[in-house]
Amino acid sequence: MIYKDIDSKEEEIKVLKELLENTDSSKQKFLIEQELKRVESGYKSEKDNAYYLNFNFDSDDYILLHDIRIEHNGKTAQIDHILITIKEVVVLESKSFKGTLTINKDGSLTVDYKKFKKTLPNPVEQNRRHAKLLKEFLEDKIDLPFRFKVSGGIPISSKVLIHPNTTLTNQTLPEGFARSDSFFTQRRKELDKLNGIEVVTALIKILNKDLREEIANKLIAFHKPIKIDYRKKFPIKKKEEKKSCPRCKEGELIVRESKKENSKYKNKKFLGCSRFPKCRYTEELSVENAAV
């Protein structure tokens, strides 16, 4: 059951494309392009992984929330997906790369883009920090049944989901990672391997329908989305409208400066035709242009 879908990034993408089209600065153009690629890539990855999750976990036994951001005790967790099952709450992070991905022994990621390589920090550890904050949040916001209070609270685990189109050098995914299209099958296998004691423990700490819904509703109520003001981050200087010469109709009026000591124009500056000396039209500077 899908309780919350992904927050749309379409408006942010639209603004970035608009800024990219209007900027004249090569440095700013590069920065906007990088930000646009990051937003589009992350958005596509989340949507694709959400598709597989929605398809496989579309049942009353599960609750899915996408794109949840919570603030608690001075900390913030931006979580791509949260899966609430009868057994536990699973924090899921989406990852997608166009280059060839290698998951290193320490959990860090190396992406080979052919022309260069990029190393990224261990996403499993980041996801565990999000899971820890989520656990603290739920324990503070929900009056848990006694059986949870005496047994360590709500079970929370985490997993990093790799987009199925990502090329991987690892033949076997390390612990903490899974392919988004095979995550459901992997979860079923893990449940089948539970021993007797683990089954009893799971039954004691079962999340019934009311508790699952309470957790989901609480997360939605405290979801604090953040949107970046890209127009403020990448301010574009408004282009001055060019004014054609009213006399020759061919040139444009540009700011010129008189060389005469006794110029009739203030500060010796005036608007003159760009075709000077063929056209000698001049006029006073407007208030807007007076400071030029």
pLDDT of residue 242: 75
Q: How far apart are CA 150 and CA 132, in angstroms?
A: 18
Domain with 211, as residue range(s), is 2-233
CA 127 to chain centre: 15
ω into 277 cis (within 30 of 0)? yes
pLDDT of residue 150: 77
- Which residue type does 238 have? K
Q: How far apart are CA 14 and CA 38, in angstroms?
A: 14
Shared domain check, 257 and 180 = no
Spell out the per-residue pLDDT of the chain, length 292, in tens.
899 999 999 999 999 999 999 888 889 999 999 999 989 988 888 888 889 889 888 888 899 999 999 999 999 999 999 999 888 899 999 888 888 999 999 999 999 998 899 999 999 999 999 999 999 999 999 988 888 877 788 889 999 999 988 999 999 999 899 988 888 887 766 655 545 555 445 555 678 889 999 999 999 999 999 889 999 999 987 655 678 999 999 999 988 888 877 778 777 888 999 999 999 999 887 654 544 4
pLDDT of residue 24: 83
pLDDT of residue 202: 54
Q: Which helix (H) or strand (E) holds 72?
A: strand 63-72
Q: How far apart are CA 270 and CA 264, in angstroms?
A: 9
Shared domain check, 96 and 72 = yes
Assigned token pair, 71: 């603030």
Shared domain check, 290 and 183 = no
> Could you say which of 196, 218, 233 is where a domain stops?
233
Shared domain check, 166 and 271 = no
Shared domain check, 100 and 195 = yes
Rounded to 5 degrees, φ, ψ at 221 are -65, -35
List CB contacts of 81: < 8 A, sequence separation 6 or more. 46, 49, 50, 53, 64, 65, 66, 67, 91, 92, 93, 94, 161
> Could you say which of 193, 209, 233 is where a domain stops?
233
The answer to whether 187 and 31 are in contact (CB under 8 A) is no
Q: How far apart are CA 56 and CA 247, in angstroms?
A: 72
pLDDT of residue 184: 84
Could you tell me where the DSSP H helices lie in 3-88? Answer: 10-22, 26-56
Whole-structure pTM over 0.85, yes or no?
no
Shared domain check, 116 and 14 = yes
Shared domain check, 200 and 185 = yes
> Could you say which of 193, 210, 233 is where a domain stops?
233
